[in-house]
Amino acid sequence: MKFMACIIAFVLFSAACLRCFGQQSLPPLKISHLTGNFYEYTGYSMLNGTPFPSNSMYLVTDKGVVMFDTPWDSTQFQPLLDSIKARHHADVVLCIATHFHADRTAGLAFLKARGVKTFTSLATYNLCKERGEKQAEFYFTKDTVFNIGGYSFQTYYPGKGHTSDNIVIWFEKQKILYGGCFIKSIETQDIGNIADADVVAWPVSVKKVMQKFPNARYVIPGHFGGTGPDALQHTLQLAQQSQKGQLIHRKPIL
């Protein structure tokens, strides 16, 4: 009996070790300087057993730090705030999420609990409630200009695309377009997750952004690398190919 008990214990221990070795841990948050007081940060979440990157951005102002979207994984909420505080000796005071998916909204309740003012569009606010995602404290009902700490930026809804509620954010003076998941990285040839997408409207919506902001210098996609304006044309091509059924969706990319 003792021999059998030892064998069972050894088998259980080996299985536990295999599970541990088989699991991948999330990479740490990556913060990169974009230009001036603008920073891009990349967080990660597990997708199909693999760490998957998600890009967001923050701006350091005299009145505090403004975040655009939140980290995806809850283990990276506090490390981001700690990193911002250590780097810039400033607190996050405002956050705007660009659509309802969790890779944009997961940290909204966390930020709200820490006194950060959180915003989304009304469409995103309602979809978060409908889909059980975290909701912002406040919402805006139309394209809105925000002024904070000497900086000005505007939200813009171009129409349906990645989701029915996706917005982009434009900084006129710095010529920065924060695209979120509406914009695809030049590093991917996949239009990504189309579960909530409108592939017919997406190319039209991309063209509206290109016409409204024709002189973008930096364009931030929702996932993977690159910050150049060529991401706009690349997104248009992917959206057009997807519309025509020419893309093969090999894996879900948000």
Mind telling me the catalytic residues? 99, 101, 103, 162, 181, 184, 193, 223
Written as six digits, the tokens of 173 are 């003076």
Residues counted in the chain: 254
- How is residue 150 annotated by DSSP? T
CA 201 to centroid of chain Cα atoms? 21
- Number of Cβ atoms within 10 Å of the Cβ of 117: 16
What residues are paired with 121 via a beta bridge? 140
Type of residue at 243: Q
Nearest to 61 by CA among 96, 89, 29, 33: 89
Instruction: Write the CB contacts of 125 (distance below 8 Å, at least 6 apart in sequence).
Output: 135, 136, 139
Residue 121 in 3-state DSSP? strand
Phi and psi at residue 51, to the nearest 5°: -60, 130
Are the C-beta atoms of residues 216 and 242 closer than 8 Å to each other? no
DSSP characters for 44-93? EEEETTEEEEEEEEEEEETTEEEEES--SSGGGHHHHHHHHHHHHS--EE
Nearest to 134 by CA among 191, 185, 198, 70: 70
